[in-house]
């Protein structure tokens, strides 16, 4: 469990840069308190530097505006040439602390890697960036993201390539307008989707010949403004999106779905829901062209069916052995 690698350095900071407060509320401790409710066996791992590890911390590598950007290096205390892992923290604005990376970096160093934790901030900073802010573009097939955070604004996660199959488990994804979008087939399992401002969660562009687009299974949907978000709108006519057994917060608008100003999309797009719960799950005022799945229909939709049995067979064969790292206590 990745969260077992969290360090004890967990104090939020109040920092001002050009009059804008940095958001350092996402800390090791706050993450632990959130996830321990679901995974009571996890513990906060020590970030103390063990014997045999050389640490070079807070090394300035660039000046940006009125502050320095820094990186830290952790490696076995020897002169060997070793493989390196670079972990970059940050982006257009601050969310969380780079200390989140330290325990994992030390675990990798104990297993023979040179690890770099890099603080990266664009300048000037702002509470939110303006316009599109793509965090990740995914074009590969059989892509897997587990315990990852995707932070952006409009267009956060671009599932770019038609025919690409993607799997997201226990991930955090936030954004505003169309912040999960594209033509790939993607399964989201127990992810947290956070809606900022107002907009649309999905903008799928599923190809007509594909049976599935996005499936959200047992995910949690929340946001900062009630009744401000649609579950999706079709970027292309044959968009396909399902929300199954999800917790939909009051951020979801009663009508649920939007046709992107084109009534013809209502005959081609497939937007479905099944056994969702929460303030935003009421279907009484949903648009008439959306679908409520029956138990028989829902039973046929599994991640193996959607992504293909070879997707998960390959996962078992190709998964790297990080047992020594992820078992840190």
Which residues are catalytically annotated? Answer: 155, 178
Say which DSSP state 316 is in: H
Contact 133, 275 (CB under 8 A): no
Q: How far is CA 167 from CA 102, 124, 138, 221, in A?
A: 26, 34, 11, 18
CB burial of 76-92 (b: ≥16 within 10 Å; e: otherwise) equals beeeeeeeeeebebbeb
Q: How far is CA 315 from the centre of its chain?
A: 19
Is residue 249 a contact partner of residue 221, using CB atoms and an 8 Å limit?
A: yes
β-strands 16-17, 67-76: how paired?
Answer: unpaired
Question: Quick one: CA dihedral 253, 183, 308, 38, positive or negative?
Answer: negative
Residues in CB range of 263: below 8 A, 6 or more apart? none
What is the rounded distance in angstroms from the CA atom of residue 122 to the CA atom of residue 145? Answer: 25
Give the C-alpha separation, 310 to 161, whole Å: 19
Angstrom distance (rounded) from CA 241 to CA 297:
14
Q: What sign results for the dihedral spanned by CA atoms 276, 280, 286, 290? A: negative
Distance CA 162, CA 187 (A): 14
Tokens 């594909």 -> residue: 210
Residue 106 burial (C-beta neighbours within 10 Å; 0-12, 13-18, 19+): buried
């Amino acid at each position: 469990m990745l969260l077992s690698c969290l360090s004890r350095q967990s104090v939020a900071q109040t920092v001002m840069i050009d009059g804008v407060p940095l958001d350092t509320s996402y800390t090791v401790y706050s993450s632990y308190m959130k996830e321990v409710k679901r995974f009571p066996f996890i513990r906060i791992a020590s970030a103390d530097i063990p014997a045999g590890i050389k640490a070079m911390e807070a090394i300035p590598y660039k000046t940006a505006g009125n502050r320095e950007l820094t990186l830290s290096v952790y490696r076995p205390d020897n002169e060997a040439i070793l493989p390196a892992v670079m972990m970059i923290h940050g982006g257009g604005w601050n969310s969380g602390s780079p200390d989140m990376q330290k325990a994992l970096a030390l675990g990798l160093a104990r297993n023979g890697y040179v690890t770099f934790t890099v603080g990266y901030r664009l300048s000037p900073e702002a509470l939110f960036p303006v316009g599109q802010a793509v965090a990740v573009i995914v074009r590969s097939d059989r892509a897997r993201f587990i315990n990852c955070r995707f932070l952006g604004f409009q267009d956060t996660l671009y599932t770019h390539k038609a025919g690409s199959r993607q799997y997201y488990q226990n991930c955090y994804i936030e954004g505003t307008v169309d912040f999960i979008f594209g033509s790939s087939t993607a399964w989201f399992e127990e992810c947290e989707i956070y809606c900022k401002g107002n907009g649309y969660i999905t903008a799928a562009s599923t190809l007509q010949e594909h049976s599935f687009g996005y499936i959200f299974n047992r995910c949690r949907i929340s946001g900062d403004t009630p009744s401000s978000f649609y579950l999706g709108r079709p970027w292309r006519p044959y968009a396909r999106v399902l929300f199954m057994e999800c917790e939909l917060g009051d951020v979801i608008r009663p009508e649920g779905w939007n046709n992107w100003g084109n009534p013809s999309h209502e005959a081609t797009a497939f937007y479905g829901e099944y056994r969702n719960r929460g303030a935003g799950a009421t279907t009484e005022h949903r648009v008439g062209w959306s679908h409520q799945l029956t138990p028989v229909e829902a039973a046929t939709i599994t991640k193996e069916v959607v992504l293909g049995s070879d997707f998960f067979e390959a996962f078992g064969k190709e998964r790297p052995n990080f047992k020594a790292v992820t078992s840190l206590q």
